[in-house]
Amino acid sequence: MPDLPNPFLTRMQQQLGDEYADFLASYDQPPDIGLRVNTLKLSPEEFKLISPFQLTPIPWVPSGFTVPTDSRPGKHPYHTAGLYYLQDPSAHAVAELLAPQPGERVLDLAAAPGGKATHLAALMAGEGLLVANDLNHRRAQVLAKNLERWGTRNTVVLNETPTRLVEHFGAYFDRVLVDAPCSGEGMFRKDLDARTEWMPKLVQSCAIRQDAILVDAAKLVRPGGTLAYATCTFAPEEDEDTIARFLDRQPEFELIDPPRFDGFSPGQPDWLSNDQNYPMQHTVRLWPHRAPGEGHFIAILKKNDQDGHKLSSSTPLLLDPLPPEAKHYYQQFTDKTLNWQPPEDHLSLMGSHLYQIPDDSPDLRGLKVIHWGWWLGTMKKKRFEPSHALGMGLHAGDVHNTLPLSLDDPAVAKYLRGEVLPSSGDDGWALVTIDGYPLGWGKRVQGRLKTHLPKWLRQF
């Protein structure tokens, strides 16, 4: 068992009573590995047919499974191909309970590294607008890469403060997810830093920060919209108490009772520090001794659509026509490479990057934008170079030239290392696929294909 902080153990014994021994025993077990299938690319049933891992279903998410701890799924080519995302099983429950619908406007306020954002994107099935934001620039870059690999077409990636988003959007979103920064008690089993950095003062400081984030998040939810609040900590000060303080300040919201699945436990009204009369049993707790995963707290709140609240009508993004030279070289690429083309009225050149802008995208000028939508590629001198995001958002049938590889082909490992491959066929861009799913681009010249897999994905 890892060395756990004594004040944490004392509090958990008080909270759990007779269950404390079982909770403590869970730390003697290896962390569960959760795998969520990318339903933008294939169904869970299709993945089962090709899965190299033993899959055990996670009760609360149809596309989620646990895999054996020795399976190393992060090193598998299917992971590089974006066929699944690795995420703690208890974290799978958050997007599933928020339940975004295709066509809605959805905001993931603190989205890095992208686990919940990729889940939201899959549930939205490519329709509507997903805004994935993170305050930390480095983490926002990681978020953008994970969404590129996921193959999303309708996602904007921002690097902004919650307050700036409120100023820009107002009450614009149908659903908002706050995956709040927390003291990380649910990470103790697998994260040494989380254990060594924890102290009671950290719990208190996180609670203060969570209150401030929720004040802004509430202003981003449209009347009648839904807010999800989640943490990976067990501290009531950051869970039930945070929600009670929020409801004290935001009476236009109410807790709703989400669907219940095996392994879900209710929140505890008895753990509130004051005598607030809120139905905390409508919140969800996941415990490592009761269900797969490291543990989570989730609250789903509905915003009243009465009392004069008005839906924000954010200014739409007006697109300038593509410059003639950019249009020429992009058309040259699509004519030679693609069987499918994005609609011209949704194309926009942002600097040297060409994007397909999501339908009804708001004007994002003035914000720190990482991606304005689906990044198609980059305008170079007298040519267009496709992005990895374009390749991962396509299907093999969308491209004239492919290099189809199977999982047992030695060329897969060579491609992932960035080596040049022998490849017969027409010169030009080709989409490398594994078992029919895009893996990345290559450029064929005189029977040799040069790898264009991004360096951050290569396996040396």
Catalytic residues: 232
Cα atoms in the 13 Å half-sphere on the side-chain side of 179: 27
Give the span between the Cα atoms of 423 and 334, in whole angstroms: 21
Q: Please, what is the Cα angle at 206 between 200 and 207, to 5 degrees?
A: 95
Cα atoms in the 13 Å half-sphere on the side-chain side of 23: 21
| Cis bond upstream, residue 251 (ω within 30) | no
Token pair for residue 29? 């077990």
